[in-house]
Structure 1
Amino acid sequence: MKILVTGASGQLGSEIRDQHEKYTADTFVFVDIQEMPLDDIQRVTVVLDEQQPDVIVSAGAYTAVDKAESEPELVDRINHLAVAAMADWAKENGKRLVHVSTDYVFQGNSSTPLKEGEPTDPINVYGLTKEKGEQAIIRSGADAVVIRTAWVYSSYGANFVKTMIRLMTDRDSIGVIADQIGSPTYAKDLATAILTIVHSDKWEKGIYHFSNEGEISWYDFAIAIQELQGLNCEINAIATDQYPTPAKRPKYSLLDKSKIRQQFGLNVPFWKDSLKEMLYKLNTENK
């Protein structure tokens, strides 16, 4: 099997790269902005024609949520039109697509874990373009699995965990939002899930949800990071309206993972167990 992975140097792409050698029967092609710039739709199709993958793992995206508000056309090309091109190519060539989407396709006004069939209603540019990407895949008729995830972090790249460690090291006190609820996703766990699905004999196209188990706020997440790292910093719980940002965020985006567990027999780790694992790796690498 030939598997092409976009966003090769991102958090998820890097975690897939770490695991790909387990799959000795497969050929992996990792592409990033140099090899396959997602804002160049024609180039996307050319690369797919050249590589002829059996499976496309669409892990690359425009993810700078606040910056997205000021350059919506670029975000749309990357998160929507490039995804549409990959879906159309997969359909025309009889290949499979795994696409990573986001909890930001939801408005965030629910109070119970979100199932895949809930109505989408994005409240920012990033979420809107990801929703349009999902819709393009469905319209294409491609044999595609769409995985919505949330709050992704890793030992690679920039993310909330690393930012918190830096701020708690540099400052005596910080404020962290306590009224946005969800569950984080260790990119390594998501990479494991994707590779399991790609190789599953229970493949079934459709939309699925994946994040780590548990229900927390960003404040709860920060407290756990502080405890596990042994950092001395006062962490104050603040409301969303005390920390205005260019892009609105969903207040509640906890994802229901029952469908993906049942279909593919996936193990979904608890968020704190995964955080411990990531911090151990990070601390070991930084010694």
Structure 2
Amino acid sequence: MTVFAQLPEGIRQLVKENRQDNPAFSDLVRGGGYVPPDNEMLIDAITALSMGKNVLLKGPTGSGKTRFAETLSNLFNQSMFNVNCSVDLDAESLMGFKTLAYEGDKQVIEFVPGPVTNAMKNGTFLYIDEINMAKPETLPLINGVLDYRRTITNPFTEEIITAKHGFGVVAAINEGYVGTVPLNEALKNRFVVIDIPYLQGEQLKRLLQNESRLNDENTIGLFVRLSGDLIQAVAQGKLSEDAASIRALLDACDLSSMVPPKRAIRRAIADKLDEDREKTLVHTMAETLFG
């Protein structure tokens, strides 16, 4: 069975039709928690993964990249192993580690597989979050995993691992974010890149309705307007990307189901910012909308 055949029949048909304007996509993917801003993004991601290509989701922090990856995993009926990149990422974090164990009274050395090993051996998805946070010397270890070979030699066991059918890689990147480094060309060329913009308008409204604890339609509408204002301020360089995070907006909506919206915005959005001028700007936006 091909990877494409693992998709629901409805999704397979829609991808084959390649109709970006087909509203049926939204109904089929909503269960994954993320509806992309346009169906073209979904079609292209599904097509790439079905062909055995790696997908790199590129976008600002909090724009929904992880949710999109989870949605793709759900559509393919695949579980997903996660790698959270940082400057501390090493071979053990990717491949696994050796530890002492017991077989009866006998002490033995046992290998505990990591996310890359698990995903390859089980034929499932591997999600590499914030891939450009890792040290440049660490990621070349998995170059063979990301190209046509789909093979790696485990440095701890010397085992040659070839990915089982169904294995796929989705990675996410926040360009220009503090602590990130540019991806080298050899690594970047192993991915198909999909830009993930912030959700806005009706799509954001549906997400807040489905994913937050807030039920008041009027208040949800005001939060959608707030998000638009925050995104515009980020684009103008008045706020850092953190201020427009959809994740933070959902937190603010959840809190607003129990506390006044302005206080929720302060806790979930404004107080996360470092500069006083940014906090003041967010407070002003909240005051304008919520009085």
TM-score, length-normalised on structure 2? 0.31
TM-score, with normalisation over the residues of structure 1? 0.31
Q: In proportion to residue count, which structure has more helix? A: 2
Rg larger in structure: 2
